[in-house]
Structure formats: C-alpha cells, structure tokens
Amino acid sequence: MLRMAADKGEGYIAQGLDIADLLAVVYFRELRHDPRDPDWTERDRFVLSIGHYSIALYAALHRAGYIPEEALETFGLNGADLALSTFDDQPGVEITGGSLGHGLGQAVGMALGYRLDGNPGRILCLISDGELQEGSIWEAAMAGAHHGTDNLTVLIDSNGIQADGPTVLRMEPIADKWRAFGWDTVEVDGNDVGAIAGAFDDLRDRDGRPKAIVLRTTPGSGIPTLERRERAHFVRVEPAEWSALLEELERENG
Amino acid sequence: MVELRAGRAGGMGEILDVEGPYEVAPLGRSLVELAEHRPEIVGLTADMGRFSDIHPFRDAHPDRFFQIGMAEADLVMIAAGLAKTGKIAYCTSYSVFILRRALDFLIIDCAHSKANVKIFGGMPGLVNPYGATHQATDDLAVLRMVPDLTIIDPCDATELAQVVKAVADIEGTVYVRSLRGKVPVVFDPDEYEFELGTARRLREGTDVGVISTGFMTQRALIAESVAKDRGLSVGVLHTPTIKPFDAQGVTEFARNVERLVIVENHQTTGGLATLVTEALYDAGIQKPVIRIGIQHRFHESGSQAYIEAKYGLDQERITRAVVEGV
C-alpha cells in the first residue's frame, strides 16, 4: 500500500492502514472465493462501498491472488486498470464504489438474490462512519432488517475522520443505531485481528437478522507518525518521507 | 376562475374516462406471463405496487417480489444488487421519484454497471392531478444524458405489454415511461410489433409529417384522420425508443413531407423535439416545425383534461397544428 502511494506522493493511506487488519481477516479467514474464477456464482462477496479506499482493496486482492504485483505499480496511472476509485470491471471488485451511500443497498439486493437461489454464499459490505451521513445507508438498513437478510454483514469502519476533519456530524452511538434498526450488532477494536475474527464467530450462526460489526479503528494504524497526524483524511507525503514510513511500519509490526 | 368539476381523470395517473378499447394493468399482466417461464425475473416497488400495476406480479409470484417501502434510491440500489446475482429486476415507482430521488443510483449502480434493471416509471409527463411535485416533465431530457441507458416511451396497452417482454432481452438498464390502469388499445396486437431503436411509420403522407412518442401518438393518429377528411396527406411516425434514437428513420420520414409537427408528453426542450431537430440539422434538412409539448415552467394541479387543455397538449391543439399549421 505504501509503495503504491509513494509512486503518487499521496493517497488514502491512513484509511487503508486502518482497514488492513479487517481485510486480512476477510480475505484470509472469512471469504469463500476463488481468484481463478472471480465470477464463481456461490462465492462470498466483499462489497467495498468506500471505493476510494481502493489502495487497500488492491493490496488485499494482490495477496489473495487476483492482481499481479507488477499491476500494483500502475495504481492510479493514466490508462491503468487499477483506478483511484474502484470499478466493477476489475476482477475481484464487486461494485463501482467511491460515491458514498451506494454499497449497502446493492449488498441487500445481492443478499436477497442469493437467498432466492438458495445460494450459500454470504455478502460482506464495508462502509464507513462518515458514510453513515448518507440517507441511502439508512434506507438500506431498513430494507435489510425488514427482509431478514441474515446472509449479509455490514462492516462499519469507524475511524472518526472525514474530508473536513474529525467526524463533522455526530454519528454516535453508532452501534445503538444499528441495533435500533434491527441488525445483530457487535462492536470491536478494528485493529485487533483476533477481536475481528471473534466478532465474525460471534455473529456466524445467528439467523433471521442482518449483522453489523462496528470496527473502532485508528487512521494510519501501525505507523505512529501517521497515527499522530491531524489531517489524516488524504495524506500527502514528501518523497523522502515514504521510505521512513515504510521502515517505521516494518519496525513497529515486525 | 375555478372549475367546479375537477374532472374524473387523474386518479393517480389512471385514465378513468377511456373511450374505446382498453386493457387493465397491461404491465403487470404481461410481466406475469413472462415470469412464468423466466425464473430469473424479480419484481420490486417502492410503496407503489398497486399504483404502478406491478401488483399482478406480486400476487402471482410473492416469493420473487420485494416491497422496498417509500425509498426510491434503495429501490434502485437493491434492484442493481439483485441484477448482479443474475436476476432481471423489474422495479416500479413514479417517474418523478425515480428521476429526482434515485438518479445517482440509477446512473452508478445500474447504467454504469450495465445492470439488468428495468425501471417502469409511472405518470411520466403531465399526467397527474397533484401538480409540479408529481409531474416528471423533464425525465427524457435528464435521462437522455445517461450513457448505457435505454429509454422507451410506449403508446398504448399493446406496446407496453410487448415492451415488458422485450426489455428482458435487452442487456443492461432500461427506463420505460409506463401507463397504468385502463390503458387504451391503439395498436392491434396481431399486427403491431415493437422493435427496439426503430421508429415506426403508422401512416404515409406528403403534406405534413407528425412525429410523436408515448400516448401522444394516439392523438397524432386522430389528427391525421381529421386532416385526411380535409384532403391533407399526413404521415405519422411513432418513435417509442428515445434512446437509442432512430435518427435515420426520422430524417428519411422528414425528407418526404412539406412540414413537421412534433408531439410529446414532455418539455419541448431536451426531449423528442430536441432529438428530432438535432437529427434534421445533422442531416442538413430544413423544414418548418411546430413543437407541441410541455412548456418550460412549473405547472399547476388539476384533472388531466384540465391541465392538458390549459397547457396545450389536448387533441384540439394537436389537430389544429396538423390541419392548419399553427
């Protein structure tokens, strides 16, 4: 991720790092999928609503076998497949994301489609706390609960930052809102891999209601310099600084 | 002056005073027939099942029908999600709500993904007793700008029933201006065949050429018969597909007539008249044109007959334009 951003000098690095632990659990523990057959009809689907977090998804898709390493170097370049925001013509990418508030409703539709077919696949949809300000999220929350889409889990990256600064409109209590809307909800430290895995396990066999995991995350997680940065929404870094950040990440995380 | 009798027409877009043959709920009936042998078809509505005529499908296939509630953005998102699992998602609401509430979702979740979502918008144009809040007089102008979207404006029950089936085989997102309730039968189902992207010559003539879309074509045909009695040779070209538009069919038709009358249930800017005049200009054709449609303004509420007469969409206005050229 850092190397991808370094080529451009900027990117959604802080957010990418804060959901990296989640993506590790999703792609290497939870998701039933096949990188050789991205359109496998019974696959679990990971729907990234926050498509501008593409940098993190591409890194995960690379590790999961969808994207070759050399393609990562083309991230965000003119004419490249790996665009700054996600488009669904890229194998492994389920929806065209980035314009916020679009993912969860489509995830509800996918969950209904799977249920209709008796498809055992699950739908996971990652949204963010700032995105909760989009009304369409709550329209989808109502429909998911009404139709009892228990094959759907919404993952809410609660990192407390938005474009204009720290969460600009009060969204708390986030977990209580989802419970009130009829979703089976748990809240965990989103940068603790064990806690995230535990949340999935906790919700796994509950039937009848859609599920929500509220992930409390730290922007720039794993790199103290970034964690301390006040304006973390869209990180610009001087060329010399990138290698220092990379070293810091390796030092902090072994 | 207030008209004391508001008129019967205008029960949520249902034409109550239909003269001549009609079909009841052609959308729902046709969808039920289609769905019998197409298990991938699903239906959705945003609290407009009965008022959009998808209720026969709901009753026939309750397992494949999803009530989304009064949330049009969600309706379109969920339809897109269903489509992405291999379904063909038919969804209904009013045109005005689809256009204004759900546009972003129609563009990104549906058209951009070429999702198999078929949107049937009720009460397009000036077909509503509730005034500007409910009148989609600009849907063609706005939606025409959306890439990878097909737009169809059927004339009658025959065509609407055919369109319901035809759109299942069009890959991608389709927006249809729907008709509900007792829908007049103008075309003989045994003779008429809807073909995507093709304008259809219903009458051949050389003095006047009428180009029309939607249910305005019924009025164009009535105007033609009046004009014929007065010795005028009038051609009528029906253009149900707004996008992709049959520019070639229009220009070939226009070359053979002295003057043109364009009739649409839409603002005269951005809809059929704009498409036709663009096509004529591109082909180097100059003909006198009368554009009959909705004015660029907000319109008041009232019965359909009242507002159509007030704003110049009624039969009398159309016949005058065809016969007298004014």
Do B100 and B211 share a domain, yes or no? Answer: no
pLDDT of residue B19: 81
Same domain, B27 and B176: yes
Range of the domain at B223: 200-324
Residue A124's pLDDT band (boundaries 50, 70, 90)? very high
Contact B109 A106 (CB under 8 A): yes
Give domain status of residue B190, yes or no. Answer: no
Q: Are the Cβ atoms of B84 and A112 closer than 8 angstroms?
A: no
Residues of A with Cβ-Cβ distance to B112 under 8 angstroms: 96
Provide the shortest C-alpha distance from residue A91 to chain B (in Å). 13
Query: How many Å apart are CA B126 and CA B307, to the nearest integer?
Result: 8
Partners of B72 in beta bridges: none
Whether residue B320 lies inside any domain: the answer is: yes
B74–A95 CB contact, under 8 Å: no
Asked if A102 and B109 come within 8 Å (Cβ–Cβ), the reply is yes
pLDDT digits (tens, 9 = 90+) for B281-323: 999 999 999 999 999 999 988 888 899 999 999 999 999 999 9
Q: Do A143 and B68 touch (CB under 8 A)?
A: yes
Q: How confident is the model at residue B8 (pLDDT cuts 50, 70, 90)?
A: very low
**Three-state DSSP state, B139:** helix
Q: Are residues B36 and B139 in the same domain?
A: yes
Count structural domains, chain A.
Answer: 1
CB-CB under 8 Å, A109 with B78: yes
Question: What is the pLDDT, as a whole number, of residue A254?
Answer: 67
| pLDDT value of position B11 | 54
Choose from A90, A94, A99, A112 for mutation: most chain B CBs within 10 A. Answer: A112
Residue B227: its pLDDT value, please? Answer: 98
Residue of B84, B90, B100, B101 best to disrupt the A interface, most CBs of A under 10 A: B84
pLDDT score, position B241: 98
Residue B7, pLDDT above cutoff 60: no
Instruction: Specify if B2 maps to a domain.
Output: no
Residue ending a domain, choose from B152, B184, B216: B184
CB A86 within 8 A of CB A57: yes
What is the per-residue pLDDT for A8? 79
CB < 8 Å to B81, chain A: 105-113
pLDDT band for position B16 (cuts 50, 70, 90): low
Q: What tens digit of pLDDT does each residue of B156-198 get?
A: 999 999 999 999 999 999 999 999 999 999 999 999 999 999 9
The answer to whether position B269 is within a domain reads: yes
CA nearest A140 in B: which residue? B74
Is the model's pLDDT at A6 over the cut of 90? no
B89–A contact, CB cutoff 8 A = yes
Measured between beta carbons, which residues in chain A are less than 8 angstroms from residue B100? none
Of B78, B87, B112, the CB nearest to A105: B78
Does B1 fall in a domain?
no
Task: Indicate the average pLDDT of chain B.
Answer: 94
The CATH number given to whatever domain includes residue A106 is: 3.40.50.970
B42 part of contact set with chain A, CB < 8 Å: yes
Place of tokens 């669904």: A88
Mean pLDDT of A133-159: 98
* B235 and B319 both lie in a single domain: yes
Look at residue A172 and tell me whether its pLDDT is greater than 60.
Answer: yes
B164 exposed, middle or buried (CB, 10 Å; 0-12, 13-18, 19+)? Answer: buried
Look at residues A238, A201, A199, A243 and name the one whose alpha carbon lies nearest to residue A223: A243
pLDDT attached to residue B10: 47
Under 8 Å between Cβ of B261 and B318: yes
pLDDT recorded at residue A225: 87
Q: How far is B246 from chain A (nearest CA, A)?
A: 30
Q: B239: domain CATH number?
A: 3.40.50.920
- Tell me, yes or no, whether B15 lies in a domain: no
Decide if B105 is inside a domain. yes
Q: What is the mean pLDDT of residues A14-34?
A: 96
Q: What percent of chain B has pLDDT over 90?
A: 89
* Domain extent at residue A6: 2-252
Q: Testing the interface with A: which of B85, B87, B119 to mutate, by most A Cβ within 10 A?
A: B85
What is residue B13's predicted lDDT score, i.e. its pLDDT?
63
pTM of the entire predicted model? 0.96
Instruction: Give the count of domains, chain B.
Output: 2
Whether this model's ipTM surpasses 0.90 comes out as: yes
Asked if the structure places residue B27 within a domain, the reply is yes
Q: How is residue B117 written in tokens?
A: 């979502």
The candidate with the shortest Cα–Cα distance to B74, out of B82, B64, B85, is B82
Query: Are B136 and B34 part of one and the same domain?
Result: yes
> What is the tens place of the pLDDT at every residue in A174-227?
999 999 999 999 999 999 999 999 999 999 999 999 999 999 999 999 998 888
Nearest residue of A to residue B86, measured between CA atoms: A113
To the nearest whole percent, how much of chain A has pLDDT over 70?
100
